[in-house]
Amino acid sequence: RFIFLFRNNTLKLVFLLFYKWRHYLRLSSIVGKDLVLSHTGKQETCCPYLIGLSFIFPCRPFLFQDPIKGSKLELPLWLAKGLFDNKRRILSVELPKIYQEGWRTVFSADANVVDLHKMGPHFYGFGSQLLHFDSPENADISQSLLQTFIGRFRRIMDSSQNAYNEDTSALVARLDEMERGLFQTGQKGLNDFQGWEKGQASQITASSLVQNYKKRKFTDMED
């Protein structure tokens, strides 16, 4: 019995590591983390922060030369995450408006009306990363993220399964990146099924690479 437990846990660990590794390398995860977060720069000691960085190669003056204690700055998420610690010695983070109470109420009223693409195209991803900053509102934020998704999911699923061979730009306009990915997956399933029904499943087709390459070659020639 103990051997089984051990093997189970090792499998789980391997799976977790694999998943983490894939996430580390996935381009979309990296792009998501480049989003900017505005926060308050605070330091408990009296020294200026980030000394001398403006003189670093390649000699581009850095955004903030010696920011004063207590000043507000906008930093990318990856940087904020790296500099943050529990004791808030370097900085503390202010939640973007869309994750605060006001907007959370809007989402709970009707999640479908909100334009999540405009609100920051990586609403769910960014929101999940925000939980790192130990805000007292974390429990509410995670609930809000989850409930918002649940509220919107049905419509995304239905529309992706019913829009065949038509212009879907209106349907995806107000979706965030994660939802768009879901929509695309749904569309692919629909298209594959329709193709199978038409007997196209056994039809050999030109590879998509070839088609894309030919398109590019044509535009190159036009230049």
Instruction: Note the residues at the interface with other proteins (CB under 8 A).
Output: 24-28, 30-31, 34, 43, 45, 47-53, 56-58, 62-63, 76, 78-79, 82-83, 89-90, 199-214, 216-217
Nearer to other proteins, 2 or 24 (CB): 24
Mapped onto helix, strand or coil, the DSSP state of residue 79 is: helix
Q: How far is the CB of 129 from other proteins (least distance, A)?
A: 14
Q: Which is nearer to other proteins, 86 or 207 (CB)?
A: 207
Determine contact, residues 80/126, Cβ cutoff 8 Å: no
User: In the chain, where do the E strands start and end?
Assistant: 36-41, 72-76, 91-93
Of 43 and 100, nearer to other proteins (C-beta) is 43
Nearer to other proteins, 61 or 162 (CB): 61
Cβ closer to other proteins: 5 or 27?
A: 27
From the CB of 102, what's the least distance to other proteins, in Å? 30
- Cβ 175 to other proteins shortest distance, Å: 18
Q: CB of 146: closest distance to other proteins in angstroms?
A: 27
Q: What is the DSSP string of 118-167?
A: TT-TTHHHHHHHHGGG--TTHHHHHHHHHHHHHHHHHHHHHHHHH--SS-
Q: How many CA atoms within 13 Å lie on the side-chain side of 121? A: 12
209: amino acid identity, one letter: L
Angstrom distances, CA of residue 41 to CA of 46, 81, 94, 104, 106: 12, 13, 10, 26, 29
Structure tokens at 183: 């929509």
Contact predicate 88/43, CB 8 Å: no
Min CB(162)–other proteins separation in Å: 25
